[in-house]
Homo-oligomer: A and B are copies of this chain.
């Protein structure tokens, strides 16, 4: 930091989020200066293409395609990484830290996969690494875990942290729409990428859950520790049955700690209508946290978008800039070395919704319930209707009492093998 020019900022990436940050740093500069006590000066912006037309125009002289211009510039105190992707972003962040620069990032993939390594490096180099924007867009959630919830033993997280999929399931539920149509409309509105796999298969939510669960349980939860199912198998009839039974269907990111072992999973789930999470619609996100002291808290807001994400990034930047101005060293990152077992999905216990097409003849339910009973799965309720006379089939929906996943999967294989079961429709876990 130079006295005259304030805190120097280097920005990596000038896409949707980067443009929002650049705009806020320039047009909102006065308010930020007042908070920090000195100005923030945007020194350089790393882009891939110097000539690209952009929504927000940054002075041409600041643009560069050379990362070293940022990494080697001694007047840059803080590097903001919003370029996305894994390998390059990770390498640049490492190098920035090694050059003694503080780093603020929105990169969930890099933090989920390499966060602990970056934090160790930052501690060695005595710089700060902050990543509030990596989960939940503008919603404060990373910093609350790092400070406000610290006195709690966290027992559970239930989160809607992917706006694309929440938009799709909201449309499917409200308009009896199929998945492909809802996805296409989300793409037309810019809520889904041309290649939507990362969102609809739950990968994006799993990265974010890895970050939250690591913070919550003080132990490293990696993306590969998270069981992950997307929403592409959901059918309009699943939403109709859910509504009839008093539930919404949401893509939930769930992490729990019980008896020293942690489970973490992303999948569609039945959520009781009376829970606030069931009311979180469209592109909004919500993170519900349960702790021994706090009970249940929910953080709700816009989980993506240029301005909300900028809000989170700038909060981290202001925090670091205040510290720089006051000569305050960064606080140590929380400890993530509590030894905890990761529970495989086969060992979790929950309630299930099962939908299947069966032969429309007497005694079918008895045969199915016998198979389930043989695997210690007990039935809570059954809906049978919509017989199709031409095919001589009917549809049956079974809600179970809590059962173990491994037993359910085994029982389902046996059920599907029954001659009277024509097709397994869907299996959805219930969270209440």
Q: What residues of chain A have their CB less than 8 Å away from a CB belonging to chain B?
A: 20, 24, 28, 31-32, 34-35, 37, 132, 138-140, 143-144, 147-153, 218, 276, 279-280, 291-302, 305, 307-308, 310-312, 314-315, 317-319, 322, 326, 328-329, 331-332, 334-335
* Given known A140-B140, A328-B331, contact A293–B24 (CB-CB < 8 A): yes
Between-chain CB contacts (< 8 Å), 21 pairs: A20-B293, A31-B151, A35-B150, A138-B293, A139-B297, A140-B140, A140-B144, A143-B147, A143-B148, A147-B319, A150-B314, A150-B315, A151-B310, A151-B317, A292-B307, A293-B310, A293-B314, A297-B300, A300-B300, A326-B329, A328-B328
Closest Cβ neighbor of A284 among chain B residues = B296
Q: Point out which of A132, A299, A312, A331 has the most chain B C-beta atoms below 10 A from its C-beta.
A: A299
* Other 14 A-B pairs with CB < 8 A, given A31-B153, A140-B140, A276-B280: A24-B151, A28-B151, A32-B151, A139-B297, A144-B144, A147-B315, A147-B319, A150-B314, A293-B307, A293-B308, A294-B301, A298-B299, A326-B329, A328-B329
What's the least CB distance linking A50 to chain B, in Å? 27
Nearest B residue to A144 via CB reads: B140
- Per a CB cutoff under 8 Å, which of B20, B147, B218, B298 touches A298? B298
Chain B residues within an 8 Å CB radius of A279:
276, 279
CB of A302 within 8 A of CB of B310, answer no
Residues of the B chain whose Cβ atoms lie less than 8 Å from the Cβ of A312: 148
CB atoms of B331 and A322 under 8 A apart: yes
Q: Within the complex, what minimum Cβ distance (angstroms) separates A283 from chain B?
A: 10
Known contacts A34-B335, A300-B300, A329-B326, A151 near B294 by CB under 8 Å:
no
Contact of A311 among B276, B293, B298, B299 (CB under 8 A): B293
* A328, B297: Cα distance in complex, Å: 30
Looking at chain A's contact residues, the main secondary structure is mixed
- The CA-CA distance from A308 to B152 in the complex, in Å, is 9
| B-side contacts of A305, CB under 8 Å | 295
Q: For A34, what are the chain B residues with a Cβ–Cβ distance below 8 Å?
A: 218, 335
CB distance A140 to B151 under 8 Å? no
- Taking CB atoms, residues of chain B closer than 8 Å to A140 are 140, 144, 147-149, 297
In the assembled complex, the Cα of A5 lies from the Cα of B231 at a distance in Å of 54
Find chain B residues with CB under 8 A from A310 CB: 151, 293
With A and B bound together, what is the CA distance between A292 and B27 in angstroms? 12
Query: Roughly how many angstroms separate A314 CA and B151 CA in the complex, as a whole number?
Result: 6
Task: Report the minimum CB–CB distance from A4 to chain B (whole Å).
Answer: 22
Q: Is the CB of B24 within 8 A of A311?
A: no
A35-B150, A144-B140, A326-B329 known; A276+B293 contact, CB < 8 A: no
Partner of A297, one of B28, B138, B150: B138
Interface centre among A140, A296, A331 (most CB of B within 10 A): A140
Instruction: Let me know if B143 and A315 touch, CB within 8 A.
Output: no
With A132-B148, A151-B310, A151-B315: A299-B302 Cβ-Cβ less than 8 Å: no
Give the complex CA separation of A94 and B85 in angstroms: 52
**A151 contacts B311, C-beta separation under 8 Å:** yes
Nearest residue in B to A310 (C-beta to C-beta)? B293
In the complex, the answer to whether A301 meets B298 with C-beta atoms within 8 Å is: yes
